[in-house]
Structure 1
Amino acid sequence: MSKFIPGNQKHLTLEDRIYLENALNTGCSFKDIAKFLCKDPTTISKEVKAHRLSDWYHKGTFYNAKNFCIHRYHCRKTNVCGKIILCGIKCASCPTCNQTCPDFEKERCNRLDKAPYVCNGCDKKISHCTIAHKYTYNARFADRKYREKLSDSRAGFNMTKRELHQKDMIITPLIQQGQSPYQIATNHPELDMSVRTIYTYLDNGLFTARNIDLKRKAKFKPRKCHKTQITDRSVFERRTYVDFQSVNPDVHVEMDTVHSSQESKKTLLTFFFPKEKLFLAFLMNRCTKGSVRLVFDHLEKRLGTYEFLSLFEYLLTDRGSEFGAPEALETGVEGIQRTSIYYCDPMRSGQKGGVENAHTMLRMVLPKGTSFEYLTQWDVNLIVNHINSTPRKSLDGRTPYDAALESFGKNTLKALQLKRISPHEVHLTPKLIRYNH
């Protein structure tokens, strides 16, 4: 590959592969595609051959749907297998023809042996093509396979058994003498290993010494595993907190969930407007991606798409699994983008401290351990109205309801089912809900 082509040393992105797929569908040559993507034509050729998708079409092309022989149209052979003496059926229509016939030659398209190596852009429709074995290039499949290969190539330990044994002869006796991995790495630079690497090798049992032999290992409890976190890391692309800061929105909304006790699966989806200190909460039957989407759709229908966009243009939330489908939440009922979602850094709930602080007021009415099973949206609206009718020092003594009324207008607050509560009637204890049942 030429080092003088700008961008030639970079990996192909999903956008590059999508362009490559579209270009192949229109019949562009590798040279033209490489010129547009600023790559070497060999790079494009290797990409297509390495990540093309194999497909078998078992459709009736003659007598037998599984006959891939190039001679099947003119073959007159019978009883090639020799199993049935009185068989008068042509072998071309027999399912075992390709396995038993000594003259079998697999039919193959020349298009697959030379550029473009795939069926994309072929004049024949795939449904009418008689070639059984086909190859197509799919951008998303190719990108996924590439990411998997990239991850697998970096997994494991880059060390031979001999090198590992030599390091073990040094590290294990010192671990048994009570020395720490930091002490070993400092005193033995010839190991060429970091402290973190020594800990990793010990945890994976690659040394004779075990991690339980470390002086303080037994004193530490295993770290908690957050099983509710988003596992698909591609979701965070261009949606991290750093990206949020680069956008630097003047107005944004913080989003989170509040869970019930273990007796109930109902969950509250909460929103907080930092400028107005306005707090919203909506009851969901389950803490799932679909339930969050239903709340978004319900709010959009009640407010209108453009009013929803003006209120919830930028959303900042945590990495809970219920927020793991940002594209579904960002796309409105009519297919219009209604919001932009960004995620806080792991274990950094302080980055959306406004909604976390509002949860403390919510917990005054619904303490931890309270079951939401018999809670209704009417009850949630009542709690929200009492919270929003509490004066805030940061608003110079005004209530969040008054600040939101000035910013959003009466019709918007009415659509959100918000009401003002008289100051002497504001109640922030569990009795607020108990009196209503």
Structure 2
Amino acid sequence: MSKYIPGNQKHLSLEDRIYIENELNKGETFKNIARFLCKDPTTISKEVRAHRLSDWYHKGTFYNALNFCIHRFHCRKTNVCGKIILCDVKCTSCPTCNQTCKDFVKEQCKRLDKAPYVCNGCTKKINHCTIAQKYRYDARFADRKYREKLSGSRAGINMTKHELRKKDGIVSPLIEQGQSPYQIITNHPELDMSVRSLYTYLDQGLFTARNIDLKRKPGFKPRKCHKTQITNRTVFEKRLFSDFSELQLSSFVEMDTVHSSRESSKTLLTFFFTKEKLFLAFLLNRCTKGAVRLIFDRLEKRMGTYEFLSVFEYILTDRGSEFGDPVALETGLDEIQRTSIYYCDPMRSGQKGGLEQAHTMLRMVLPKGTSFEFLTQWDVNLIVNHINSTPRESLNGSTPYDAALETLGKETLNAFQLKRIDPDLVNLTPKLIRFNH
């Protein structure tokens, strides 16, 4: 890079390429374009030449649409190919002229051989241009090609065939002897690879051994890909499970969502109070950030800001996309911080095991595959009341409702729309909802 240009040392973005295309259409030079983008002119030159798009225009007569010779307008030759004895048609009108004539010279455009290397900004109209092959610079096409090359250059494994064959000679015989990948990696540090990498190479078929040769892997189903997790990693700053563990809390609230079948978009937002074992559930029409915040705002209005803060002071949840805006959930209606949200580690649902156990009781009434489309909040409250009226051994035979009544108070339970169910009337089967409908 030129020492006179303070470059940012970054890749060209789509916005940069759109600027290049617009300036080329105006007839600007590479030097002026580079000055604006803080790049070296050679960077712009390489970008244009590497990603220019070829366009073929079929010009000429009806019989000879692909004649690219520079002599085609004044050439008088006939029967150059010698195939037809009595042919008196000019060779310039014959499709085979370019392949058979010794004097053929392909027509070239100086604009394509030197800067700007493309037809962008050319003053000559396309319909009047006789050049058969034209080049233009398209910003979106160039950006797509660049991204494909960027990802393709990183595909595959960082290993030569000789190194792979050498590792295969160690790994495959030991797997045939019944050893696990962890055992092989531990006993052979010279392999210089992790257990995860070894599993990946086996899965891709790079070794002689296959997945079927492993002891346990053929018995496991592939893990489902969680495509709805939070993608913005900045929200986890100071909200990780390690930060939560440093608080050493004896009482907090766990939060999660329970999804319906594929036929319905309705979702249940669930809470679990670890000390009282109290379970709450609220029906969401859509599993979105805004829907979750609406439940928070509704509870704050019922309870009051300071009562909400005392009850929901600390919340531990998973990394679902519906919880991807913690600032909005933590900020109350009066711009007062009403709670503090922390996130579990990836694929560690056991870190909020109390709520997962409560979900098993919920699934007794709403089995997996059940559609929530016809559920109402009244139905959900009924299910929650029956769950909270079930005695727990961890509470010495007391129910979560009675434990919460002592710690949270009657007004808070009323705000949650909870009530006690007679022990002999508690029903944790699907008939609980079907009976009421």
Normalising by the smaller structure, the TM-score range is 0.5 to 0.7
1:411 maps to: 411
Instruction: List aligned pairs for 1:278-293, cutoff 5 A.
Output: 278-293=278-293
Change (3 A) 1:354 1:173: closer
- TM-score normalized by structure 1? 0.58
8 Å contact from structure 1 (residues 167, 191) kept in 2: no
- Shift in Å, 1:412: 2.0
1:268 maps to: 268
Q: 1:340 corresponds to which letter in structure 2?
A: S
Q: Distance in 2 between matches of 1:229 and 1:389?
A: 34
Per-residue CA deviations over 1:185-207 (Å, capped at 9, x if unaligned) read 68876554555544444545666
8 Å contact from structure 2 (residues 203, 211) kept in 1: no
Change (3 A) 1:408 1:157: same
Q: Distance in 1 between matches of 2:309 and 2:353?
A: 23
Q: Distance in 1 between matches of 2:413 and 2:187?
A: 67
- Shift in Å, 1:96: 4.0
Question: Please, which runs of 5 or more residues in structure 1 have no aligned partner?
Answer: 1-46, 59-65, 69-94, 114-151
Q: Distance in 1 between matches of 2:170 and 2:303?
A: 70
Per-residue CA deviations over 1:117-151 (Å, capped at 9, x if unaligned) read xxxxxxxxxxxxxxxxxxxxxxxxxxxxxxxxxxx
Q: Distance in 2 between matches of 1:67 and 1:350?
A: 57
Q: Distance in 1 between matches of 2:396 and 2:188?
A: 62
- Shift in Å, 1:261: 2.9
Change (3 A) 1:52 1:410: farther
Q: How many residues align structurally?
A: 318
2:243 maps to: 243
Q: Distance in 1 between matches of 2:170 and 2:391?
A: 66
1:88 maps to: none
Change (3 A) 1:309 1:203: same
1:168 maps to: 165
Q: Residue 269 of structure 1 aligns to a residue in which SS?
A: strand
8 Å contact from structure 1 (residues 392, 398) kept in 2: yes
Change (3 A) 1:279 1:184: closer
Q: Distance in 2 between matches of 1:189 and 1:394?
A: 47
Change (3 A) 1:421 1:107: closer
1:44 maps to: none
Q: Residue 332 of structure 1 aligns to a residue in which SS?
A: coil
1:17 maps to: none
- Shift in Å, 1:269: 1.1
**1:323 is aligned to 2:323:** yes
Q: Distance in 2 between matches of 1:186 and 1:272?
A: 41
8 Å contact from structure 2 (residues 385, 419) kept in 1: yes
**1:366 is aligned to 2:366:** yes
- Shift in Å, 1:171: 2.6
Q: Distance in 1 between matches of 2:201 and 2:393?
A: 54
1:232 maps to: 231
8 Å contact from structure 1 (residues 211, 217) kept in 2: no
Change (3 A) 1:184 1:252: closer
1:392 maps to: 392
Instruction: List aligned pairs for 1:335-346, cutoff 5 A.
Output: 335-346=335-346
- Shift in Å, 1:271: 0.9
Q: Residue 279 of structure 2 aligns to a residue in which SS?
A: strand
Q: Distance in 2 between matches of 1:108 and 1:219?
A: 56
Q: 1:333 corresponds to which letter in structure 2?
A: L
Question: Please, which runs of 5 or more residues in structure 2 have no aligned partner?
Answer: 1-5, 40-150
Q: Distance in 2 between matches of 1:182 and 1:67?
A: 57
- Shift in Å, 1:410: 2.4
Q: Distance in 2 between matches of 1:273 and 1:221?
A: 34
Q: Residue 367 of structure 1 aligns to a residue in which SS?
A: coil
**Percent identity over the alignment?**
61
Change (3 A) 1:197 1:285: closer
Q: 1:224 corresponds to which letter in structure 2?
A: R
Report the structure number with the largest CA radius of gyration: 2
**1:253 is aligned to 2:253:** yes
Change (3 A) 1:291 1:156: same
Q: Distance in 1 between matches of 2:417 and 2:332?
A: 21
Per-residue CA deviations over 1:311-360 (Å, capped at 9, x if unaligned) read 11111122333323323322223333221122233443332222222223
8 Å contact from structure 1 (residues 241, 344) kept in 2: yes
1:8 maps to: none
Q: Residue 435 of structure 1 aligns to a residue in which SS?
A: helix
8 Å contact from structure 1 (residues 185, 191) kept in 2: yes
Greater mean alpha carbon deviation, residues 253-262 or residues 278-287: 253-262
Q: Distance in 2 between matches of 1:396 and 1:174?
A: 54
1:22 maps to: none
Greater mean alpha carbon deviation, residues 276-285 or residues 225-234: 225-234
8 Å contact from structure 1 (residues 379, 433) kept in 2: yes
Q: 2:313 corresponds to which letter in structure 1?
A: E
1:308 maps to: 308
Q: Residue 257 of structure 2 aligns to a residue in which SS?
A: strand
- Shift in Å, 1:246: 0.6
Q: Distance in 1 between matches of 2:339 and 2:257?
A: 18
